[in-house]
């Protein structure tokens, strides 16, 4: 793919809003060599293992899959020659993984900045999926408020570096940018 056709997109929305389906369909309609970057760590969680398997089936065999819970910047900078588009699903779980590794807010913000730069610099198209977690009530616990704030800042930072930002609700896309 030539870099003149490169596109970057952030797709945000609530749980079960259609973010993943929309993103997969968008990439499948435009690109032959597609790479799904999964940030989920299912571990021993049977319900999460089932969700991962459902996502795999929905993509089909014509997607390459990279399971990378933390180093998204490395994937974009080192593996772009193998694909025409990266679909990163999802930034919210990536943030959760960093929090579970006890990263400080400053380390996470540096990670966000590095990821935004990698998205901008990547020679191929990049689609990123994230949950919009700031539409509800203010969480009761300090950890939940920290998570909500970091997720919102991450979405803002990444969205500022993307050509398009799409908000999903009820399976329908609303193009914000």
Helices (H), the chain: 19-30, 46-59, 72-78, 91-100, 105-121, 142-160
Length of the chain, please? 177
Q: Would residue 161 show up in a list of annotated catalytic residues for this protein? A: no
The one catalytic residue among 6, 21, 30, 55: 55
What's the Cα-to-Cα distance from 62 to each of 33, 48, 77, 83, rounded to whole Å? 8, 23, 22, 12
Active site residues: 55
């Amino acid at each position: 793919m030539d870099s003149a056709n490169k596109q970057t997109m952030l797709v945000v929305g609530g749980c079960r809003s259609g973010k993943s389906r929309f993103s997969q369909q968008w990439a499948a309609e435009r690109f032959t060599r597609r790479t799904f970057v999964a940030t989920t760590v299912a571990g021993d969680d049977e319900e999460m293992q089932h969700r991962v398997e459902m996502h795999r089936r929905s993509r089909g065999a014509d997607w390459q899959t990279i399971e990378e819970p933390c180093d998204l910047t490395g994937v974009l900078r080192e593996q772009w020659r193998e694909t025409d588009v990266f679909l990163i699903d999802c930034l919210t779980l990536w943030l959760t993984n960093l929090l579970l590794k006890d990263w400080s807010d400053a380390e996470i913000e540096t990670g966000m900045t590095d990821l935004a730069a990698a998205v901008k610099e990547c020679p191929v198209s990049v689609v990123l999926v994230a949950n919009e977690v700031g539409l509800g009530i203010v969480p009761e616990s300090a950890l939940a408020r920290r998570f909500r704030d970091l997720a919102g800042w991450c979405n803002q930072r990444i969205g500022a570096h993307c050509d398009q930002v799409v908000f999903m609700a009820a399976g329908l896309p609303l193009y914000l940018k």
